[in-house]
């Protein structure tokens, strides 16, 4: 299939506008129109991973971490980033990254951590703002159901566990067409009154073009009146980190043994144990220190993440146990997650998990 079909599906699950401002998710190397028959999945895109893609006949590498975060001004092969990009281009291998946008969704990286640890009732720890918009339009009475159905089918009207959500109010619309108009009702040159319904519904900002196209195609009027509003509401199903609960509380030491086993980590750097039972656990794959105050506010007993600096451990202030399990270790199951996502949608498309351990951190035990 074309590379664009694969990337479009991934972005339908984890839209690019869900990524953080510093991130660079999306198609980094490659032509969307190129044909692909096999993908290699890796946490990082290194030279060894590109070599593996070449050896196994994969035309695209799907990595969690982008190989390029910042602009590159020269390609002299002096850095591993330059060498990876150069080799991929020469060999016609596409590189696609799905990073913080995959972190942010309810079924993404942090959900897989919660699942691995056996956490229940998981929810987003810090929901994102400014991802929801509202559409208001005015429709003649006998077309209201048709327009609503079209908007819902395009992805509008979803709030949490509810779908087909809208507000409707009847009123009277007026208009007068000029000589160039072809009005659905009324006469040219005469003011017309029409009984209409004002329909209000919300939608994800990334679906705006699809929503508006559905509205225009379903609406009977030659000129469709509508208003678009930016909402600052939190999107409860998109955001950073997650928090969940153990089915049965564990003492802190037993819980850390549980984490070490399930997350396959060599070592856990942690703050002082507080002598409490662990029931509620906050998690964030990768560098999640910015979520500490939110984990405390949510009542978490332990916060599992990575990349903590020495002085940042003091911020626990005896209110929570911080457990730094390592960046690679916290995100390693993302590879399997991506494998399952792609195979479910494209069961006859060849997907391969890398055999390269890209973790740059080694432990002298």
Q: Annotated binding site, which residues?
A: 64-65, 103, 327, 331
Q: Which residues pair with 105 in a beta bridge?
A: 238
Burial 175-207 (b: 16+ CB within 10 A, else e): bebeeeeebbebeeeeeeebebbbbbbbbbbbb
Task: Decide the pairing of beta strands 60-63 and 38-42.
Answer: parallel
Contact (CB, 8 A) for 287 and 330: no
For the four alpha carbons of 143, 146, 148 and 154, in that order, the dihedral sign comes to: negative
For the four alpha carbons of 106, 109, 112 and 118, in that order, the dihedral sign comes to: negative
Identify the three-state secondary structure at position 221: coil
Task: Give the C-alpha separation, 333 to 159, whole Å.
Answer: 29
Burial 320-349 (b: 16+ CB within 10 A, else e): bbbbbbbbbbbbbbbbebbbebbeeeeeee
Joined together, the tokens standing for residue 7 give 């990337």
Helix (H) or strand (E) holding 283: strand 277-287
- CA distances 221 to 181, 182, 197, 343, Å, are 11, 9, 13, 43
Binding-site annotation, residues for a divalent metal cation:
64-65, 103, 327, 331
């Amino acid at each position: 299939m074309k590379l664009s079909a694969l990337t479009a599906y991934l972005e339908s699950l984890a839209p690019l506008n869900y990524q953080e401002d510093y991130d660079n998710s999306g198609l980094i190397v490659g032509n969307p129109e190129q044909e692909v028959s096999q993908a290699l999945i890796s946490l990082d895109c290194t030279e060894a991973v590109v070599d593996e893609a070449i050896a196994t006949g994969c035309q695209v590498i799907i990595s969690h971490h982008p190989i390029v975060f910042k602009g590159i001004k020269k390609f002299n092969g002096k850095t591993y980033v330059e060498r990876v990009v150069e080799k991929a281009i020469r060999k016609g291998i596409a590189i696609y990254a799905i990073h913080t946008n995959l972190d942010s969704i309810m079924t993404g990286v942090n959900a897989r951590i919660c699942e691995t640890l056996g956490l229940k009732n998981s929810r987003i720890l810090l929901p994102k703002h400014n991802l929801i918009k509202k559409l208001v339009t005015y429709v003649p009475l006998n077309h209201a159901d048709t327009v609503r159905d079209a908007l819902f089918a395009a992805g509008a009207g979803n709030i949490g566990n509810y779908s087909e959500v809208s507000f409707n109010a009847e009123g009277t619309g007026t208009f007068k067409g000029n000589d160039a108009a072809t009005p659905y009702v009324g006469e040219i040159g005469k003011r017309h009154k029409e009984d209409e319904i004002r329909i209000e519904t919300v939608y994800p900002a990334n679906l705006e073009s699809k929503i508006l196209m559905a509205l225009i195609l379903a609406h009977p009027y030659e000129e469709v009146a509508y208003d678009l509003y930016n909402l600052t509401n939190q999107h409860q199903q998109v955001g950073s980190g997650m928090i969940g609960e153990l089915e049965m509380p564990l003492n802190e030491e037993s819980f850390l043994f549980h984490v070490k086993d399930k997350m396959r980590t060599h070592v856990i750097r942690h703050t002082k144990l507080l002598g409490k039972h662990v029931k509620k656990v906050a998690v964030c794959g990768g560098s999640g220190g910015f979520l500490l105050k939110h984990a405390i506010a949510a009542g978490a007993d332990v916060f599992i993440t990575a990349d903590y600096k020495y002085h940042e451990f003091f911020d626990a202030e005896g209110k929570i146990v911080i457990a730094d399990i390592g960046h690679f270790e916290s995100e390693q199951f993302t590879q399997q997650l991506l494998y399952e996502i792609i195979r479910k949608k494209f069961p006859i498309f060849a997907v391969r998990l890398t055999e390269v351990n890209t973790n740059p951190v080694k432990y002298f035990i």
